[in-house]
Amino acid sequence: MMPRAASGAAGPAGAAGGAPPALPISALLAGALSLLVGAVYLALDPAVLTGYLGSPRVLATTHLLTIGFVTLVYLGTLQQLPAVLLVTDLAWPRMGLLSLPLFVVGCVLLVSGFAVGVAPRLLASGGILLTVALGLAFSQLLATAATRPPRDPGGRGLITAVAYLFLTVFFGLLLAGARASPQLATITGYPASLHQLFGLAGAFLLGIAASGQKLLTMFALSKGGKTWRLTALTYAIHVAMIAALARAVLPLSGGGDGFDQPLKWLALAGLASAAALQLWEVMAILRRRLRKRLEAPVLRYVASHAFLPLSGVLLLFGLPEAATASFLLGFVGLAVSGMLVKILSFLTWTSVYARRGRREQPPLLRDLVVPWLEPLITWGLALGALATSAAIAMSSEPAAVIAAGALVIGAAAQLAQVVVIVQRTLFGVRRAAPAVAPVSAGVAKGSKA
Amino acid sequence: MTSMLENDNWSTTTEFKENDPKVPAVAVLEQLSRVIDPELGIDIVNLGMVYVVAVDGADVAIEMTLTTPGCPLHASIEEQVRTRVGELDGIGDISVDLVWDPPWTPMAMTEEAKRSLGF
């Protein structure tokens, strides 16, 4: 079959580009550092997991995890991921020079605002900066998509997830405003559940599902999943978000008394359907894979999905806080951690070896990773997630101590891994032999027809 | 002249086009087999990514693909291709055309490459 030149793809022959590599690399490193800071902060007083979960320390830790780690890694990958998912060049590739520092400063202010005992000015200024930074990132993604509208549910899901992320921070800002101003609260209510739901399901679950479908397919050399499942998952999340929004808004307009429970169950059904579809999709991709031996970070991504049913079970048993911990630390934390290592390897390698005139044989991506750190990351974070859920569910201080210790180990191993990846790429590493001998001997034996 | 290269190890073929070549297309292919996909650890020839090697006098034109459109490694692999082919004596212009049709599939790999990935 004769090859034909690409059509419709961006850049020369369909090659697509992202931002300057230093931008996403910095964001990913800062994200890994945030997770460790959060874990150490929790370890200073692990008993907080057995007390009131709205305490400043718990809120500071939670936001270090959700914003400092997950969202910052997400924003970092958004500097490169659109090129892969949308197959087009990133619009305004230097926008990250503005949005990422704004986001980091906003994160520091917000977390500090919680850590010092809920300081309204710090929270407000942090929230505003985060909203502006995410607004810029969302605009950049929309401008990128405008040059090549996404034709698959993965690309559309990525854009939708970032929209939900923006709304999550916006609801957080409203929540802070409502707590500071009773007048505002009479208008907006206290959108805490919207803040959590839009973040956990709208941004994180949909973001992982949308980007993971393409990335897992690539890394597992799979024939892929089914586009209808990701489309259905996206609609299921929309249903859950709309139901939750209606449940929050109807009482403010003085109505909706009889709708509260139906809307609650509709939201839960949407979430359960989305989680089930994601599990089905991942299993289908794995079943159709040709690469049987998956790398450790990819296995971590896959393993994260075990926390989806666990979160559902905890929710069924009336333990929503433990379910949230399982979902956030277990599913989101492990999935993001797995992709963090893979994506960082790609980014750093590309930043060095795309330069002209390098004659030495570049290392393989797996040469950049320290193998023995991988189980520490996976088991540390997984045990940390399980023990955190147990500590919350059973008010168990020993479980809280185990949780904090395991999270510190996992987060420290992850930070060490990402630092080593950057260090080995920049300063060189002994290159392993290729998995297959080059074909030169075969070529010599070949015959021309 | 258009010719196809095959051997016992290959499940795929790279199309050769030669017009008064200063360097044999097979030598170009040998150089390309030194370009390793850093994710899979296998060279791009064994991966079945090289569709066409055309040599017109001293000029070389390569049509190849990558595992997926938008692959972040495209610039570095393309640069590696230029560097390796440029190491041959007597080479003129080198053009590298990334194409996505037909799309790459794992079935394009040689049997040895498939085995190394646990197929």
CA A217 to chain CA centroid, Å, is 17
Q: In chain A, which among 86-145 make CB contacts under 8 A with chain B?
A: 86-88
The topology under which CATH files domain B2-113 is GMP Synthetase; Chain A, domain 3 (3.30.300)
pLDDT band at A314 (very low <50, low <70, confident <90, very high): very high
Instruction: Report domain extents, chain A.
Output: 151-293
Mean pLDDT, to the nearest integer, of B88-117? 86
What does the pLDDT look like over A365-410, one tens digit per residue? 888 999 999 999 999 999 999 999 999 999 999 999 999 999 999 9
Mean pLDDT over all residues of chain A? 87
Mean pLDDT, to the nearest integer, of A23-36? 94
**Residues of chain B positioned with their CB less than 8 A from the CB of A1:** 102
In degrees rounded to 5, what are phi and psi of residue B6?
A: -140, 155
**Which structure tokens are listed for A182?**
């009773």
Distance CA A299, CA A335 (A): 9
Distance CA A153, CA A8 (A): 18
With residues binned 3-state (H G I as helix, E B as strand, rest as coil), the percentages for chain A, rounded to 5, are 75, 0, 20
Q: Of the given ranges (A39-43, A115-119, A309-313), which has the lowest mean pLDDT?
A: A115-119
Chain B closest CA to A149's CA: distance in Å? 15
Chain B closest CA to A214's CA: distance in Å? 10
pLDDT value at position A358?
64
CA A90 to each of CA A87, A251, A290: distance values in angstroms, whole numbers, following the listed order: 9, 42, 31
The CATH number assigned to the domain with range A151-293 reads 1.20.120
The answer to whether residue B11 scores a pLDDT higher than 70 is: no
What is the predicted ipTM? 0.77
B20 CB-contact burial (10 Å; exposed 0-12 / middle 13-18 / buried 19+): exposed
The answer to whether residue A163 scores a pLDDT higher than 80 is: yes
Q: In chain B, which among 16-75 make CB contacts under 8 A with chain A?
A: 16, 26, 29-30, 33-34, 36, 38-43, 45-46, 51-52, 63, 65, 67-75
Mean pLDDT, to the nearest integer, of A149-156? 87
Mean pLDDT, to the nearest integer, of A16-36? 86
**Which structure tokens are listed for A73?**
């890694």
Q: What is the DSSP annotation of B61-78?
A: EEEE--SSTT-TTHHHHH
Collect all residues with Cβ–Cβ distance below 8 Å to A183 and sequence separation of at least 6: none
pLDDT band at A26 (very low <50, low <70, confident <90, very high): very high
Distance CA A133, CA A376 (A): 33
The answer to whether residue B17 scores a pLDDT higher than 90 is: no
Residue with tokens 């990128």: A144
Q: Of the given ranges (A79-88, A341-350, A413-422), which has the lowest mean pLDDT?
A: A79-88
Q: Of the given ranges (A160-164, A190-194, A431-435, B81-85), which has the lowest mean pLDDT?
A: A431-435
Judged by CB atoms closer than 8 Å, whether chains meet at A292 and B78 is answered as no
The β-bridge relationship of strands B50-56 and B59-64 is: antiparallel
Distance CA A301, CA B72 (A): 20
The answer to whether residue A419 scores a pLDDT higher than 90 is: yes
What does the pLDDT look like over A51-109, one tens digit per residue? 899 899 999 999 999 999 999 999 998 887 777 777 778 888 889 899 999 999 999 99
Q: Of the given ranges (A82-91, A141-150, A156-165, A168-177), which has the lowest mean pLDDT?
A: A82-91
The Cα angle at residue A10 between residues A9 and A16, in degrees rounded to 5:
110
**Nearest 10 degrees: Cα torsion A390, A391, A396, A399:** 80
Strands (E), chain B: 2-6, 14-19, 36-37, 42-43, 50-56, 59-64, 94-98
Q: Between A and B, how many residue pairs show a Cβ–Cβ distance under 8 A?
A: 183
Distance CA A391, CA A380 (A): 16
β-bridge partners, B37: B42
Q: Of the given ranges (A78-87, A239-248, B62-71), which has the lowest mean pLDDT?
A: A78-87
Highest mean pLDDT among A18-27, A179-188, A271-280, B75-84: A271-280
Judged by CB atoms closer than 8 Å, whether chains meet at B69 and A6 is answered as yes
A359 C-beta neighbours (distance < 10 Å), count: 9
pLDDT band at A5 (very low <50, low <70, confident <90, very high): very low
Q: Is B2 on the interface with A (CB under 8 A)?
A: no
A409 C-beta neighbours (distance < 10 Å), count: 18
Q: Is A256 helix (H, G, I), strand (E, B) or coil?
A: coil
pLDDT value at position A417?
97
Supply the pTM of this predicted model. 0.87
Q: Is B56 helix (H, G, I), strand (E, B) or coil?
A: strand
Strands (E), A72-127: none
pLDDT value at position A39?
96
The answer to whether residue A165 scores a pLDDT higher than 50 is: yes
The β-bridge relationship of strands B2-6 and B14-19 is: antiparallel
In degrees rounded to 5, what are phi and psi of residue A394?
A: -110, 5
